[in-house]
Every structure is written in structure tokens, then in C-alpha cells.
Amino acid sequence: MSDGPEHPHVHRNPPRPDQDDTLTYYRALEAAVRELLVEKGIVSAEDVRRQVEEMDGRNAGRGASMVARAWLDPAYKERMLVDGAKAAEEIGLDVGPLKLVVVENTATVHNVIVCTLCSCYPRNLLGLPPDWYKSRMYRSRVVREPRAVLAEFGTVIPDDVKIRVHDSTADMRYLVAPRRPEGTEDWSESELARLVTRDSMIGVAPADKA
Amino acid sequence: MADALPPRFRPGDRVRVREAYPIGHVRTPYYVRGKQGVIERLCGAFPNPEERAYARPGEPLQPLYRVRFLQHDVWSDYGGQSVDVVEVEIYQHWLETAQ
């Protein structure tokens, strides 16, 4: 690209470099294994595409439907707190081999989720994790100064509320059940589910206001 | 189903995380090594990831616990409230009874 007379205008936002222009070791490994699997007829290219589409298509609405059900049905909530994966299956959500722990925010306890080792996240119920969840900054700081990190998200936790940070280091995945907003007493399950945002189920925000 | 080691701890037991620094794939975060906490729950038994990471079966299965630590016990300069906790999943072979 030339800045000479043939190219007189100014690029205020230079193009970002492509992220797929280097064949790193692991990219080469992925391509080699995938091509071998396709060549041997173990999976098809269509299977791979469909699976990626399905993973990308999951969103936090799945987790939200569990929380809304729990707000309306105390017996369901109890079952959900005992075995989150079973409670997901109960309302028709396929979570595969996921081991899910649901933790409940109350007037006296606020929960927040992190994976300090990598970026474990209940993708089956929340979709793909936000970039900040995978950042070293969030992962290293939220275990050490959770109140300061939450305040940066606009979530100020009163001094008399206990903070429980959950570091998902091994085989469990975590979902926060946020508190039900006031003024929603006669709301339907689908109306309630709309208040249950992704961030509220990670624990960095309350559910949306009614 | 592969054999599982019997659980040595119960919810409420005080435990200490071994202060060890082996090389390789380890799921015990540095910040809790050598720290004391309380068993919150038994999560089940799972293949040992320190073996699995190197294509070995990781059997017998290791009991996995959630261990609750007071933040003040983990970070000596913790700036939050004294009731604040951090809960971490730790495999049994990293835990010993607290003195």
C-alpha cells in the first residue's frame, strides 16, 4: 500500500492483521488430525461444521431458563442446587457429561465464578465465554481482590455480604443463580428468563432490573 | 467403571493443601499450596489429570473435593471482608489433615 498520489486518503483505523495467516504448530496439528479423520471416514467435514455451528449457537438463554424456573419453583431450585446437570436435563437441556454446580446468591452471599488455570466455563448453558473471562487480568485478580473487580463491573457488594469466589480448577463447572429482582412477583417464566443475563450467571452483575 | 480410591475426608474436615511444586500438568493452583481450608463437599471421583495429561489412564480414580479457604488465610494482605472465601476443587492426593 502506497501513500503516494494514487492513494491520497488517510486510514484512521488501519486494518487489523488477520489471525489465520500463520500456520502455528497447533493449527497444523488440528488440520492434520481433522483431515485424517475425514479421510478415514470417521467424521465428515459436514459433521465438523455442524458441531462448530452448534457450539457457536449456544447462548445464555439456556442457563437463564433454569434460573427462571428455580425462581418460580422452590422444589426445582432445591434439586438444582443439589445436582445442576440433572436439573438442566429435567427441563430438556442436553448438557452431555457436564458436572454442574449451581450456587445461589442471597441477601447475605454473593458468588462469582472464575477459572484461574485456563478458562473453564459452562459453555453448554452460557455459550462461548466472553473475552474478559479468559483474560489473565480477570483470572488473576478476581480471586485476590474480588470486591475491587466486581466494582469495576459496576457491582458494588455491601460490606455485610460475604463473597464466595469459585475457582473451577478441575471437573466441575459453575453457574450462579442471581437473586430475583423485586417487583417481578406476577411475572411469567419467560419474562423472568429475560432478566437473567450471562454476566449475572457468572456473578459479575445482578440480574437485570424489572 | 474404573476403581476409585475411597474418600479420606468429609465435609467440615479441616485440611491442608500439600506445599509441593512438581513439574508437569498440575491442577492445584499455586495460591492455595500450603494453605488450610475446610472440605465443602465431595464432588465425586475422577481420573487423575496429572496422569491423563500424558495419555495415561489416571486410575484408580481420585476423589475430588471443593475446599473452602478464608481469603485472609490465602492472602495475608487481603483487602475485603473477613468472611470472604475462595473455593477451589482439589484432588485428594493434594490434601492432608490439618494439624
Chain A residue numbers with beta carbons less than 8 Å from the beta carbon of B31 are 116, 143-144
Average pLDDT for A56-77: 95
Average pLDDT for A5-14: 70
CATH architecture of B14-97: Roll (2.30)
Tell me which residue in B83, B84, B87 faces A167 most closely, judged by beta carbons: B87
Using CA atoms, how far apart are residues A83 and A78, in angstroms rounded to an integer?
9
Q: Given an 8 Å threshold on Cβ–Cβ distance, is A162 in contact with B85?
A: yes
Rounded to a whole number of angstroms, the distance from the CA of B84 to the nearest CA of chain A is 5
pLDDT for residue A2 is more than 60: no
Residues B10-58 pLDDT 10s: 999 999 999 999 999 999 999 999 999 999 999 999 999 999 999 999 9
Closest CA to B69 of B30, B40, B49: B40
Q: Tell me the torsion sign for CA atoms A42, A46, A47, A48.
A: positive
Residues A110-141 pLDDT 10s: 999 999 998 899 998 999 999 999 999 999 99
Tell me which residue in B29, B49, B64 faces A116 most closely, judged by beta carbons: B29
Q: What percent of chain A has pLDDT above 90?
A: 78
**Chain A contact present for B90, CB below 8 A:** yes
Q: What residue in A sits closest to B29 (Cα-Cα)?
A: A117
Q: Is B44 left (phi over 0), alpha (psi -120 to 50) or beta?
A: left
CATH architecture of A59-202: Alpha-Beta Complex (3.90)
Residue A166 pLDDT: 97
pLDDT for residue A98 is more than 90: no
**b/e A126-146 (16+ beta carbons within 10 angstroms → b):** bbebeeebeeeebbeebbbbb
Q: State the amino acid at position A41 in one-letter form.
A: G
Using CA atoms, how far apart are residues A210 and A184, in angstroms rounded to an integer?
6
Q: Is A41 left (phi over 0), alpha (psi -120 to 50) or beta?
A: left
Rounded to a whole number of angstroms, the distance from the CA of A142 to the nearest CA of chain B is 10
Domain with CATH 3.90.330.10 in chain A: 59-202
Rounded to a whole number of angstroms, the distance from the CA of B99 to the nearest CA of chain A is 25
Chain B residue numbers with beta carbons less than 8 Å from the beta carbon of A167 are 29, 86-89
Whole-model pTM: value is: 0.88
Peptide bond into B60 cis (omega under 30): yes
Using CA atoms, how far apart are residues A128 and A161, in angstroms rounded to an integer?
30
**Chain A contact present for B98, CB below 8 A:** no
Tell me which residue in B31, B81, B83 faces A143 most closely, judged by beta carbons: B31
Residues A13-65 pLDDT 10s: 777 777 777 888 999 999 999 999 999 999 999 999 999 998 888 899 999 99
Q: Given an 8 Å threshold on Cβ–Cβ distance, is B80 in contact with A145?
A: yes
Q: Given an 8 Å threshold on Cβ–Cβ distance, is A172 in contact with B66?
A: yes
pLDDT for residue A4 is more than 70: no
